[in-house]
Amino acid sequence: MNQAIEIKENIYWIGVNDRRTHIFENYWPLPKGVAYNSYLIVDEKVVVVDTIERSKMDDYVDTIATLLAGRQVDYIIVNHMEPDHTGALKNLIHRYPNATIIGNAKTFPILKNFYDISHHLQEVKEGTTLPLGRHSLTFHMAPMLHWPETMVTFETTEGILFSGDIFGAFGTLDGGIFDDEVDLDYLEEEISRYYSNIVGKFGQPAQIALKKLAPLPVRMICATHGPIRRAHIADIIAKYDTWSKYETDKGVVIAFSSMYGNTERMADTIARALAEKGIKKIRVHDTSKTHPSYIINDIFRFRGLILGSCAYNAGIFPTMETLLSELEQIGVKNHLLAYFGEKSWSGGAIRRFDTFAANIKWEIVHPHHETWGTPKNDDRQACRDIARAMADKLDNLYP
């Protein structure tokens, strides 16, 4: 059975840790695992706030039954319909068939399509209040953060914001469940990587949600992934504000794809020239080795991006194509761009970079350069010119 932890009087964390899943949503690496957080409020009415991923739902439902000692669940709140938060829903309804599912108008079509559930539903709208006894809940819509039906639930007595995926993080909860019980430095990359890759596309909806939620007297944030925030609430809100405005530090990400080492040599020449110009925050990634989620996380942090790729079958190298497609789909804003390429018998990489530049609409700091085979002296000089143009631009933006 899972362990239930009382976070406030008669309000419990009933989540689970997942250390077995290697990739989240069958794409994002999970080197530190992930937690699925669910919550239980026991009052005159009993409420489950979000559920968990289905792999551990049997223990999860047993935990609820033990806590309730024969009482029934009155409401199940669905803040977000993704299966990592609704995977145990059918099992929970089977145990508590009279429970009412709380959602908004956009929740229920997805609920029907995923689980064929269309009964015992109660729709809530912006500002709807649900009295439970001593506790009371209000509901606030946060569409496209990051699905159209997303909403948050605010418990008014204790000031708890049940925020769904908003303010979440990768990483398991290894003993501590509160932010002042865990090593946030250890989780820092997993917090920002979660935002940049899961939520990062939706900067404008994030800004709207932050403004809407600002008047609420939040004293605790209970997301569906990551630690519960009670000591560092302002910190995570400030991070979301910065990230959703696409604000960046002075630094450069160099991402390259190389088959025989020639493009890598050019990347190293650029990195050295950046360092000589005083740029200290330089992150060099080989796209064949590093998952795009880590590269994108760094791109969210730093203003400059320099891309390089060899040609491959008269096109661009496949792992660089993946990165470019991800960046186009996310639509990161307010960056500086430069790129370079290498060809042996046919080009192709530069054509794709040109298309990417037209799609992403970032400022290009210097014309591209393409070399034939091993970089020569003029190729190395062109690389240094790209680096110096990027450094000069950053110096002007960050005096």
Instruction: Using alpha carbons, select from 382, 360, 362 the residue that is nearest to residue 372.
Output: 382
The C-alpha R_g of the chain, in whole angstroms, comes to 24
Q: Is the pLDDT of residue 2 over 90?
A: no
Mean pLDDT of 277-295: 98
Q: Is the pLDDT of residue 8 over 80?
A: yes
Single pTM value for the model: 0.94
Q: Is the pLDDT of residue 72 over 80?
A: yes
Q: How confident is the model at residue 183 (pLDDT cuts 50, 70, 90)?
A: very high
- In one-letter notation, the amino acid at residue 217 is P
Instruction: Report pLDDT digits (tens) over 215-272.
Output: 999 999 999 999 999 999 999 999 999 999 999 999 999 999 999 999 999 999 999 9
Mean pLDDT of 319-346: 95
Mean pLDDT of 67-81: 97
In sequence order, the 6+-apart residues with CB closer than 8 A to the CB of 278 are 391, 395
Q: Is the pLDDT of residue 355 over 80?
A: yes
C-alpha distances in Å from residue 68, one per residue of 98, 136, 177, 190, 241: 15, 19, 22, 34, 39
> What's the rounded Cα separation, in Å, for the pair 269 and 379?
10
Q: Is the pLDDT of residue 18 over 50?
A: yes
- Helices H / strands E in the chain, number of each: 12, 23
Mean pLDDT of 139-156: 96
Domains of the chain: 5-244 (3.60.15.10), 253-392 (3.40.50.360)
Instruction: Report pLDDT digits (tens) over 81-103.
Output: 999 999 999 999 999 999 999 99
In sequence order, the 6+-apart residues with CB closer than 8 A to the CB of 338 are 304, 305, 306, 307, 364, 365, 366, 368, 386, 389, 390
Instruction: Report pLDDT digits (tens) over 27-42.
Output: 999 999 999 999 999 9
> What's the rounded Cα separation, in Å, for the pair 153 and 160?
8
**Mean pLDDT rounded to a whole number for the chain:** 96
Q: How confident is the model at residue 1 (pLDDT cuts 50, 70, 90)?
A: very low
